[in-house]
Amino acid sequence: MFKGIWLIFRKEMWTAFRERRTLLFLFLFPILVWPSFTVLPVLLIGGREKKAAEETSKVVLVSSVETPELTKLLRTSDRIRLVNVEDPSTAVEEKEADCVLYVDSVSLDSLLIHTRLRYDGTRTESKVATNKVELLLSQYEQRVVNQRLVEEGVDEKLLSAVSSRRENVIADTQMMGYFMGLVIGMFIVMGAIMGAASIIIDSTAGEKERKSLELLLTVPIPRSSIMLGKYLAGVTFAFISPILTALGMSLAASFIIPVFASNTSAGLDLSAVISVEKILMILLIVLIMAAFIVALLMAISVRARSNRQAQTFLAPLNIIVVIPVLFLQIIPAVPPTWMFAIPFLNVMLTLRGLLMDTLPPTAFIFTLASNFVFLALALRSAAKGFGSERVLLK
C-alpha cells in the first residue's frame, strides 16, 4: 500500500515540476509577485508621503490684505518655504509650487480673513503641503483669537481647557504583529490554495479529462493509495507555497516597516515578533490548514469533468477566503473562542494572535481541532468521490 502511495506521490511531483505553470505558482508568486504587490504600493505611496512630509514644501502666498503675523508664521516655519512665481494661478499645475494660499478680507472692517488653498489632489507633495499650511493656519487662528481675548480682558489661563496626548495600549511589537498577521494570514491561506490548486486539479479533473485516470485505476494498488498519493503531493505543494509566501512577505515587511513605523512609531525589530517557538506553532497550523485545503480542493475537483470545470467549481473558494480578511480588521485582538472554529478565519486569527502575543492557548488548540474536523470531513468527501463510479467516469 505504502509503495503505491509513494509511486503515485512521486509521479505527481515529477509531472508537476515539469509544468511551468506549477513552478510559477509555487515559486515565482510567493517569493516575488505577492511581496512586490504588497511592498511596491506601500513604498511608493508611503515613501512619497514620508519624503514630502520631511521635505520643505513650496508655497505661494497671494495676499490682498496685510497679515504680517501670518506671513511671519509662514516664513519662519521650517516645514514650508514661501516662493515667488510669475503667475500664481498656474503655479500648481506647472509644479512651480506645491500649493497656493490666497488670503482675502471678507470686508474692510471685518476681523475675519478668508483663505483659499489651491492644490493638486493627485499629487502627494501637493496634498502634504496643503496639510502643512492648514496646520499653520490653525495655529495662527488660535494665536489671533487668544490675543484678542486677552486684549478684551480674558484671563489667559481660561483659554486652554484641554491638554491631550495619545497612548497606544498595544506595544510597538504587537502593532507590527497586528500588521503582519493581517497581511501574512491572508497570503498564507491564498498561497496554500494557489500552490495546491494546479496540481490537484490536474491530477483529478485533468486526469479524468485526459482519460489517464481510468487507466490508473487498472493498476494493482488500492484506489485509496492512488488518492492518498495524489493528496500528499497536493499537501506538499500547499505547505511549501505558504512557507515561501511567509518568507517573501517577511522580506517585504523589512522594507515596509521603516515606512510604516514612521507613521505609527512601531518598532523595527522583526525578531521581537517571531520567535522559534512561534515559528514552530505557525508551521503546525499551516500544515494542518494545508491538509484541510487540499482535501477540500480534491473533494471538489474530483467531481468536475474537466480542468476548466474544476476551476469554475473552485472559483468561489478564492472569494470565500478573502471574506475573513475583511472581518479581521474589526475583530478585536483577543476574539471570542468560537471564532477559532471558523475555517480560514481561525488560521488568520491564530497567526495574528501568535504574532501579537495575544493568543490564548485554548484558541490554538481550538484552531487545530477545528481544522482536523474539517480535514476529516473533506477527506471523507474526496474518498467518496474517488470510490464512486459515477463520479470517476462522468
Contact positions toward another protein, by CB under 8 A? 3-4, 7-8, 11, 14-15, 18-19, 210-212, 214-215, 217-222, 389-390, 392-393
The nearer residue to another protein, 217 or 331, going by C-beta atoms, is 217
Question: Least separation, in Å, of the C-beta of 192 and another protein?
Answer: 23
Distance CA 77, CA 83 (A): 13
Question: Least separation, in Å, of the C-beta of 55 and another protein?
Answer: 55
Distance CA 156, CA 390 (A): 88
Question: Least separation, in Å, of the C-beta of 51 and another protein?
Answer: 49
Distance CA 28, CA 301 (A): 24
Fill in the DSSP letter of residue 157: G
Question: Least separation, in Å, of the C-beta of 42 and another protein?
Answer: 39
What is the amino acid identity at position 152? E
The nearer residue to another protein, 212 or 275, going by C-beta atoms, is 212
67, 103 Cβ separation under 8 angstroms: yes
The nearer residue to another protein, 12 or 98, going by C-beta atoms, is 12
Nine-digit cell at 8?
Answer: 503515485
Question: Least separation, in Å, of the C-beta of 219 and another protein?
Answer: 4
Question: Least separation, in Å, of the C-beta of 17 and another protein?
Answer: 9
Fill in the DSSP letter of residue 329: T
Question: Least separation, in Å, of the C-beta of 7 and another protein?
Answer: 5
The nearer residue to another protein, 157 or 390, going by C-beta atoms, is 390
202, 16 Cβ separation under 8 angstroms: yes
The nearer residue to another protein, 114 or 394, going by C-beta atoms, is 394
The nearer residue to another protein, 19 or 55, going by C-beta atoms, is 19
The nearer residue to another protein, 185 or 206, going by C-beta atoms, is 206
Distance CA 125, CA 134 (A): 14
Closest CA to 242 of 293, 202, 175, 199: 293
In degrees and rounded to multiples of 5, residue 75 shows phi and psi of -70, -40
Question: Least separation, in Å, of the C-beta of 241 and another protein?
Answer: 20
Q: In what order do the strands lie in the sheet with 57-63?
A: 80-82, 57-63, 99-105, 113-119
The nearer residue to another protein, 365 or 393, going by C-beta atoms, is 393
